[in-house]
Chains A and B, each alone.
Chain A
Amino acid sequence: MNEVGLLDLVLEEEFTRDPNLVFLATNSPASLRRRFGSDRVRICAISEQAMTGMAVGAAISGLRPIVDLNRASFAMLVMDQLVNHAGRMHYLSGGQYRVPMIVTSATRGRQQLGPQNEQCPYGIFMQTPGLAVVVPGSLRDACALLRGATRWPGPVLYFVAPELNRQRGLSAALAAAPLRFGEAAHLRHGDAATIVAIGGAVKVASDAADALAADGVHCDVLDPRTLVPLDTAALAASVRRTGRLVFVDDGPRSGAPAQILSRLLDEPGVAAAAGGRIGYVCQPDVPVPSAPPLEETMWPTEGRIRAEVQRVLGEPE
C-alpha cells in the first residue's frame, strides 16, 4: 500500500484468510495481484467516486472491499460515497444491510506535497456517523489495526502516516494480532499531565515525554488508535487524575483534537479536573505550505511539546 509497504504483506495474509476481500485502486501491489488475480485485485482508472461507490455495493453484496485512495486529500472526492452511502446504508436500510469496507490513505509526511496533498482529514469523519476512523500511531499498530479493520462489521477509514514506515521491528509488527477498535494504548505513565497523541505524532510525543521524565516531569501518553470508536473512558480517567491535557497531532487544531475534547468534556469530572489547563501542539488551522522553512512550522516537535506541557503545568519554559 502507498507509503507503508509492510501493509501489503498484512493484506496478503488477510486475503488468504478471507476470500471476500477484494482490492480496488489506481495502483495495486504487484505481488497481491499476482497471487490473487485481477478479479480480486483491480486496477482502476483515476475514478475515486466510482471505486468507493463500487466498494459500497460490493460490501452490501457480501464482499469486503478495500479501496486505497493513495493520499488522504482524495477523501474529499468521495464524501458522498463515504458519508451519504457507506456510513448510512446500515441505518437507512433499518439494519438489513451491512457495509464492511475499508478505505485506506496516507496522511502527511515531510514530502512537500503542499497545501492540497499534505492533510490529516480524520477529524472531519468524527462527525459523520457510521464510519469507523482508524489512525495507527506505530508500525505495529498499523498492522494490527489493518487486521482489525478486516474483521470490523462496518465501513472503516484507515489513515496511515508515511512517517511510520521509518520504524523498525518489521517482523514483530507483521506478527501482531488483530486489534479491537476502541482501545487506547497507554504508552507512558505519569501524573503530571495527559498527552493525547494521534497517528504520526505519537512517536514524537513519546520522545518528548521521555525527555520531560528525565527532567522529573512524568506524563501519561495515550494514543487513541481509533478515533471512532473512541476510548473516552481511558482518556477521561487519565485527565481526571492529571488535571492537565495536551493534544499532539499532525492534523489541524479544529479537527480530531477539538472533537476529542468535546467528548471528554461530556465525561463527569473532566471539565472540573482540567480547568483551563488544556493545550495543543497541532497543525494550526491553515493549509500546509511546501517550502521546508514554512512546512516546519506545521509539525509537532519535541521542543514544542515540552513547551506546551510546561505551559499547562503553569511553569516557565
Chain B
Amino acid sequence: MTTAVAPARSAEPAAPDPVAMFASMVLIRVFEERMMELRTAGEVIGPVHPYVGQEAIAVGVCAALTQADSLVSHYRGHGHAIARGVDLDALTAELFGRAAGLCGGKAAALISDSRTNLLMSSGIVGAGVPVAAGAAMAAQVRGEPAVSVAFIGDGALGSGAVHETLTIAAVQRLPLVLVCEHNGYQAGNRTEEVYPEVSLLRLAEAHRVRAVGIDGNDVAAVATAAHDAVRLARGGGGPTFIEARTYLTRFHLQFERPSPEVRPSDEMAAWRARDPIDTARQSPPLRDRLSDADVEAIWERARERVERAVETARSSPWPAPEEAATHVWAEEP
C-alpha cells in the first residue's frame, strides 16, 4: 500500500476553527497525562515521551494541511498523530502493544498511518527530515500540490542528515516545511550547552532556506506561520524552516517511573504561565466565544474519549506470536 488518501479537492484547507483547535489541544493534553499514568501502571509499553506543553505546534501546523499532504514525526509524536486525526483507538492500542494497534503492535510510539499520510515516526533524531523531503520530491515529480511536513526538535539540528537535506531542499525548491519544536532540551542536555547559539534560524538561513521564528505556545501564531509556509511550498516557492519556541514542561521520557529530571523553577514558572491551552483560552476569540461551562465540557469530552480509547485498547488481544515474522518483506504486488 502506498498512499491510501485521495488528494483533496481543494489545495487549501478551510480556515482553522479556533474552538476545534482548542479542543484538539485539550485532547492531546488529556491523552498524554493518561498515557504517562498508564505507563507507570505498566499498561502502556516502551518509553513514553510526553508532548505536554507543546500542543499548540502540532495543532496549529496540522490545521494548515489537507488530506493529501504528508507528515513525518518522531518518538515524541502522539500530539502530531492526534492533531492529524489518526484514529485514537488504534493509536492507543498501538501504545498498549495490541493487535488492534495502528501497526499491529510492532511500532509502539513509532507509528505510521497511511490513512492520514503519517509516513513515519522515527526513533532516530533528524532521520525523518530527508524522508519528508523525499515525500516532497514525490509531489514535485508528479506535479501534485501536496506538501510534506517534518516535525523535529532542537536536538535534530545536531544531525548532519538534517543539514544535508536543507541544502538539497533549498536548491531543488522542495515543497517541504520543517517545524522545529525548540523546547530547550535535547535528551539530557540544555540546548545552549551544546549549540553555538540558541536561535536556530541562522542555521536554516545558512542553507538559504526561508526561516521563520514564532511563539510555539500561541496556536494562532503557529497556524498562521504554517499556513504561509504551506501556501508558499504549494506554489513552488520552496521550503520553510519554522522555529517554534516552546518548552519541555515534563521530561525527556519515562519507562516505569517518570524521569526525575529537574527544571529551573523560575524558568518552569514562566513557561507554565504561558501554557498553550490557557493562552488560547484567554485570547480572543475564545475568551468571548466560550463560557467556563463550555470549556469544562470540552475537557470532559476529551476525558471520555480517551477513556473509551483506553478501554478499547485493553479489550484488544495481544498480537499472535507468529506476527513477529510478518511484514519483514513486502509482497510482490
User: Which residues from chain A sit less than 8 Å from chain B, CB to CB?
Assistant: 22, 39-40, 42, 44-45, 47, 49-63, 65, 80-81, 84-85, 89-100, 129-130, 151-154
Contact = CB atoms under 8 A, between A and B. Distances in A.
A96 B1 contact: yes
A54 B133 contact: yes
A56 B122 CA distance: 12
B70 A61 contact: yes
Given A39-B140, A49-B161, A60 B119 contact: yes
A199 to B, nearest CB: 23
Q: Which 10 A-B pairs have the closest CB atoms?
A: A57-B134, A53-B130, A94-B103, A47-B164, A50-B164, A93-B112, A54-B134, A57-B131, A61-B138, A58-B134
A98 B1 contact: yes
Contact of B328 (A47, A90, A96): A90
A49 B131 contact: no
Given A50-B161, A81-B127, A153-B333, A93 B138 contact: no
Contacts of A58: 134-135, 137-138, 141
A47 B333 CA distance: 32
Contacts, number: 167
B141 A40 contact: yes
A53 B165 contact: yes
A44 B168 contact: yes
Given A65-B134, A93-B103, A94-B327, 5 more contacts: A51-B168, A56-B130, A61-B3, A90-B329, A97-B2
A45 B328 CA distance: 32
A99 B1 CA distance: 10
Interface string B102-120: 1111110010111000011
15 contacts: A47-B165, A50-B164, A50-B168, A54-B131, A56-B131, A57-B70, A57-B119, A57-B138, A63-B141, A85-B124, A97-B112, A100-B330, A153-B329, A153-B331, A154-B329
Nearest to B113: A96
B124 A84 contact: yes
A97 B107 CA distance: 13
Contacts of A130: 328-329
B1 A57 contact: no
Contacts of A53: 127, 129-131, 133-134, 161, 165
Given A42-B172, A85-B131, A153-B330, A96 B103 contact: yes
Nearest to A99: B330
A80 B164 CA distance: 14
Contacts of A63: 137-138, 141
B2 A94 contact: no
A236 to B, nearest CB: 21
Interface in B142-168: 148, 160-161, 164-165, 167-168
B130 A50 contact: yes
B326 A95 contact: yes
Interface in B178-215: none
Contacts of B266: none
From A39, A40, A49, A62, residue with most partner B Cβ within 10 Å: A49
Nearest to B160: A49
B240 to A, nearest CB: 18
Given A65-B134, A85-B131, A154-B329, A93 B165 contact: no
A45 B164 contact: yes
Nearest to A53: B130
A81 B171 CA distance: 21
Given A49-B161, A57-B138, A94 B130 contact: no
B65 interface: no
B167 A47 contact: yes
A57 B106 contact: no
B284 to A, nearest CB: 39
B332 interface: yes
Given A44-B168, A49-B161, A91-B327, A54 B130 contact: yes
Contacts of A59: 134
Nearest to B119: A60
B137 A97 contact: no
B132 interface: yes
B329 to A, nearest CB: 6
